[in-house]
Structure 1
């Protein structure tokens, strides 16, 4: 059994809903403006849970969906750009929370592409090291990074987590993964960390700790990248768009998805979209969407999906999956 499949999926969404109308009470904007430019109608915001908390709930839901015990998990990867703290890894806290004491755990930082990067890393480690079962989690509490006076960013993001259980199997499952990065463009989307401040520096650095984004540059990058990655992974695997049942894009902006559909000459119905409810949840957006697809029984065994992500770094990635559940 040298193939890796998705054996189960799950999600966890904070209960607090913040609508566009509610944001109008905080910043100078309106529902029509937000909806027309992004497709977002609301987002879910934590009222106290940290990233490890919602990641743990998503993990437990994925384990239940897979009918697998936490003690059977060998590896936990949490993809996040909003960890609980610099160290320990959020994945180690999740390990404790869910009782996966036989696993080893670490975090991965690739922003909105993080879940796809995590799938790629887990798949490679499982095939090379005979790791039988893994948890890959995308989890974010982006609300703690936002400047709630900046209407260009605070209306876009939400909190949430999604998880997938990966298992060695005779079926192909995760067929192919592509990961890219364009570090020369890193300054276009950032969340600042700690200032440089020690006795040997002449001047203490001053870092903006809020999420900052050059929206125009990110939009241009995303619209080109999503089309390129979909075409590339299809070509690599001798497939055409008609072979794909769903494309699951990172939920950043509905206009990006509309652009991709036009360039690919396909219906928007080919894309699974839930940005209207959750906004941009970064590394969590793709696993949340896949979990919803499973909940709604939209996939049957043998169906194929492409997950495609893009974000800070600038990172990007695509994953071709055959559904085996």
Structure 2
């Protein structure tokens, strides 16, 4: 198999900041409650920007950072659960926007685990030797899918996008991908969004409708503290790695309290974790790559970094990376 390396990592957040105080003006909540229960202080909302706009901003940043032309890309994957439309794929719009005429492009939907699934998929294309370079972007405009009367969901979510470019590495001894494990626990009730109601009869007034985002908070909490922590334990054990050997951990930025639970379970201090949920909220699949970009921008080059995502599906998975050779 061909070795793979990371050559760019970038993120983008919309300009509009929405504070807890602003949400409390029309939701029965308060800054004190939101911070104490979630650790979230604010989030960003995309105003007059759609998911493809956010993803395009990231794509442009990635190309500039990697000093590449868009025509040098072979593949673009966008992970999202808030696409511009059911079709065409948001990735196809990004491909057109940046002029990546030689790249094929498609979307991947795995909710908050989307970046993990998309990155793992792109890795297979490159490691096969059939393709040289892939752009993976997670982009979400969660705000457009919120029920703004539902405080149990609305206070958590924000908008944002981030991604990476990976390419074949001529040095076969230096592979950034060390291990991965992807899982699904089929459950359509704990978290869902954009459900389309089937026809009940044929009539002129039929028109497609989508429902808003919904999550069962208690069930999500139990899923993470039971299934996801067990998954991490098994993943590390299978790869003969002790939690203390990890240089950096980036989990889905669901909320700060859940991340603290994962840290405590692993016996690690929060200094081992990269966090942005306090300032940008739960950005669904964009949370992990946003934190990854933040870590790399700070100059971190961890030899053992654990990425773990989890979300609707229920989908969850982990990738172990060596980023010591990131330029």
Please give the range of the TM-score, normalised by the shorter of the 2 chains.
over 0.9
What is the aligned partner in structure 2 of residue 27 from structure 1? 27
Partner of 2:118: 118
Q: CA deviation at 1:205?
A: 10
Determine helix, strand or coil for the equivalent of 2:285: helix
Matching residue of 1:296: 298
* Counterpart-to-counterpart distance in 1, 2:209 and 2:215: 15
Displacement of 1:200: 4.9
Correspondent of 2:235 among 218, 233, 240: 233
Deviation of the 1:227 alpha carbon: 2.1
Cα-to-partner distance string for 1:116-154 (whole Å, 9 max, x where unaligned): 000111111222252100011110001000011111111
> SS in structure 2 opposite 1:48?
coil
| CA distance in 1 between partners of 2:95 and 2:110 (Å) | 21
Can you list the C-alpha shifts for 1:87-134, whole angstroms capped at 9, x where unaligned? 100000000111111100000000000000001111112222521000
Distance 1:74 1:29, change over 3 A: same
CA contact (8 A) 1:188 1:218 kept: yes
Is contact 2:178-2:321 (8 Å) kept? yes
CA contact (8 A) 1:196 1:205 kept: no
Where does residue 215 of structure 1 map in the other structure?
217
Q: How does 1:54-203 map to 2 (within 5 A)?
A: 54-169=54-169, 170=171, 171-183=174-186, 185-197=187-199, 200=202
The equivalent position to 1:266 in structure 2, one of 256, 265, 268, is: 268
The answer to whether the 8 Å contact 1:6/1:174 transfers is no
Q: CA RMSD in A?
A: 1.9
User: What TM-score do you get using the length of structure 1 for normalisation?
Assistant: 0.94
1:226 CA displacement: 3.5
Contact 2:10 2:293 in 1 (8 A): yes
Deviations 1:202-259 (A, max 9, x none): x979966110111100111012233223323322322222321110010001111111
Partner Cα distance (2:86, 2:17) in 1: 28
Deviations 1:261-300 (A, max 9, x none): 2211111111111110111111111001101111111x13
Which residue matches 1:43? 43
Counterpart of 2:289 in structure 1 is: 287
Q: Bigger CA drift: 219-228 or 20-29?
A: 219-228
Aligned length: 321
* Distance apart, 1:5 and its partner CA: 1.8
Determine if contact 1:229/1:308 at 8 Å carries over to the other structure: no
Greater shift, 101-110 or 223-232, is seen at 223-232
Structure 1 residue 195, shift from structure 2 partner? 2.7
Q: 1:129 to 1:86 in 2, by over 3 A?
A: farther
Counterparts of 1:312 and 1:271, CA distance in 2: 23
Change (3 A) 1:118 1:262: same
**Cα distance change, pair 79–305 in 1 and its aligned pair in 2 (3 A):** same
Inter-partner Cα distance in structure 2 for 1:192 and 1:74:
31
CA distance in 2, matches of 1:198, 1:78: 33
Report if the CA contact (8 A) 2:243-2:267 is conserved. no
Q: What secondary structure sits across from 1:187 in the alignment?
A: coil
Runs of at least 5 residues in structure 2 that lack an aligned partner in the other structure: none
